[in-house]
Amino acid sequence: MTQEEQYKITSNQYFDLIISYNGNIASLDKYKEYSIHILNDYYAVIYIPISQVSSQLFIDFGYSAVPKCYSLASMESLEVSGVNKIRNLPSVNLRGNGVLIGLIDTGIDYTNTVFQNADSTSRIAAIWDQTIESKEPYAGSQNPPFYGVEYRKDQINQALKSSNPYDIVPSKDENGHGTMLAGIAAGSESQENNFSGVAPDSELVIVKLKEAKENLRNYYAIPTTVPCYQENDLIWGVQYILYMARELRRPVAICIGLGTSQGPHDNSGPLNNIVSLIADIPGVSLSVAVGNEGNTKRHYYSSIKSSSTSIPFELNVGENEIGFSMEFWGDPPMVYTLDIISPSGEYIQSITENLEVSREISFIFEKTIINIEYFMIEPETGKQVIFLRFRNPAKGIWRFLVYGRGDLDGAFHVWLPSGDLISPNITFINPNPYTTVTSPGNSITPLTITAYNSSTNALYPNASKGFSTSNIINPDLAAPGVNLRCPTLNHQFTSISGTGAATAHTVGITALILEWCIVRGNYPGIDTVSIKKFLFRGAKRSDKTKYPNEEWGYGIIDLYNSFNIIRTFV
């Protein structure tokens, strides 16, 4: 494939799909009319001309094939987590030396001194900027993506010596989220500013995500003005960080401060599967945020009796909304149908029961158009899915009636998108704050982190709550995530709150554990699961609370207490 062809398929002229092939290349033959790019041993990305993409994309290729869209999860911690106690022990003094910290986010302001050594050289081992047009793939990778440019430490150091650093390394964090999380995890100590990252001696590997393609945003009715990132780009990012850790032969603590409410909220899906596999590798710790969906009123849940006539739920839509998507997931073996009543009272009867149905609904008294894709059995989960896309939704209360057919009782969830991917003026009337942990926080292996206020010992009000629909315990642990001090894009300091910030704090803690266990040779085979168990044992818990629970998981991280237990077990 020529460079011109590679650039073309990564443009908005082509739609990306993630196809599961599980090592069987022959199973991809049915897509040979499209451009195929092997992502790893489990998934491939195929690029389809936008002219060939129909309105029933889920029906044509399957629910999990369409990349999900992820939003950012964040918008005095070292003492309460026990980090300072560990530093003050002369025989320990863990600072992350010899450990990589990998962040997949909005990039980094590499010119900020908090990411430099005392001699003004960079502590960033590499930046892969997906937003810059690629001239050649990064060296050494077997199946590199067709986009992005890699910058190594020597290039970054050269840029730092220049009066115009961005002429040499043009990678910038225009958003600031990535810079803030990197500073929380691994910023250098600045006594005059009362600031230090958790692991100030760790080196960083940064992935700057490119934003989701316009065609994918259009499909999900996501505004063009909000930060939004697509699933296959996150997978490439995780794999790049793992590749760098292997090349440099170092342990790595990976931070994912993004999440999505799309999907069944279990451990299924391409990104969930990949992060679980990578987190299980010795020398890798992978932490993810639970999300900030607990108080957004974007989740509805109900059980339904086999004898029930119907279960109603309501959705309030604000004025002048352009569009949004909504996902209904019903537990088997009950079969579900959905009636829709518009704000003006126009009634749309149940979708015809079938294995797969694609339908477009228009209204007489409103300009609203709803595209519906219905799966009796979604292949990866076995659950029933009704996916609705609203265009020009009418203002007011939309009512839905759920009917169940079968001899056993059932239950269903309905989710709206996360973060800024949907207007705050679109909410359920009687929402349920639980089962709101965003993916990949629903994965089995990674460390899933919620946020709390270390000044009040109260849970961060917006934190998503568990458990997953497959009864995986998440969140795992709570970390400081309210008013955390961090660097800004103007080389000053500010405070941010959110589960993404708490996750960055935790990633720094896991880097310290990796230093003690692997760099110092005390437990060379440690992985994410082992780190998780050690932190569980040392966590602070209230006598008045039952653990694990949907809000706190196994409790509040206390590294000092966990470290005592590590020394006991090793």
Find the angle CA(66)-CA(209)-CA(232) to the nearest 5 degrees.
25
pLDDT tens track for 205-228: 999 999 999 999 999 999 888 999
284 token code pair: 């890798």
Using pLDDT thresholds of 50, 70 and 90, give the confidence band for residue 11. confident
Instruction: Supply angle C-alpha 468, 329, 275, rounded to 5.
Output: 40
Q: Looking at residues 2-24, what average pLDDT do you find?
A: 83
pLDDT at 79: 54
Backbone angles phi, psi at 386, to 5 degrees: -125, 115
Does residue 76 carry a pLDDT above 60?
Answer: no
Q: What is the pLDDT of residues 166-188, one digit of tens each?
A: 999 999 999 999 999 999 999 99
Distance CA 449, CA 509 (A): 12
**pLDDT score of 77:** 46
Q: What average pLDDT does this structure show over 401-429?
A: 95
Tens-digit pLDDT profile for residues 491-535: 999 999 999 999 999 999 999 999 999 999 999 999 999 999 999
pLDDT for the residue numbered 233: 96
User: What's the CA gap between 358 and 340, in Å, rounded?
Assistant: 16
- Is the pLDDT at 235 greater than 70, yes or no? yes
Helix (H) or strand (E) holding 258: strand 258-259
Portion of the chain with pLDDT greater than 90, in percent: 80
Is the model's pLDDT at 4 over the cut of 70? no
Per-residue buried b or exposed e for 435-466, using 16+ beta carbons within 10 Å of the residue's own CB: bbbbbbbbbbbbbbbbbbebeeeebbebbbbb
Residue-range domain boundaries for the chain: 72-111+173-294+439-569, 301-419
pLDDT of residue 367: 92
Work out the average pLDDT over 279-298.
97
Among residues 476, 474, 464, the alpha carbon closest in space to that of 532 is found at 476
What is the value of pTM for the model shown? 0.94
pLDDT at 306 over 90: no
Question: Residue 281: which residues within 8 A CB-CB, separation 6 or more?
Answer: 242, 527
pLDDT in tens, 137-167: 666 566 778 889 999 999 999 999 999 999 9
pLDDT in tens, 523-565: 999 999 999 999 999 999 999 999 999 999 999 999 999 888 7
Beta strands 410-415 and 299-304, pairing class: antiparallel
The enclosing H or E element of 401 equals strand 396-405
Query: Residue 1 above 90 pLDDT?
Result: no
How far the first Cα of the chain sits from its last, in Å, is 52
**Cα separation of 69 and 456, whole Å?**
34
> Is CATH 3.40.309.10 correct for 72-111+173-294+439-569?
no
Cα–Cα dist 325/418, whole Å = 11
Question: 3-state class of 246 per DSSP?
Answer: helix
pLDDT for 55: 79
The answer on pLDDT for 329 being more than 70 is yes
pLDDT of residue 538: 94
141 burial class (0-12, 13-18, 19+ CB within 10 angstroms)?
A: middle
Predicted local distance difference test score (pLDDT) of residue 83? 65
Task: Please state, in angstroms and rounded to a whole number, the distance separating the CA atoms of residues 507 and 518.
Answer: 16
The pLDDT value given to residue 92: 72
- The highest-confidence range among 47-51, 164-168, 194-198, by mean pLDDT, is 164-168
Architecture in CATH for domain 301-419: Sandwich (2.60)
Give percent of the chain above pLDDT 70: 93
**Can you tell me the distance from the alpha carbon of 374 to that of 356, in angstroms, rounded to the nearest whole number?**
5
pLDDT band at 428 (very low <50, low <70, confident <90, very high): very high
Q: Is 310 exposed, middle or buried (0-12, 13-18, 19+ CB in 10 A)?
A: middle
Average pLDDT, the chain: 92
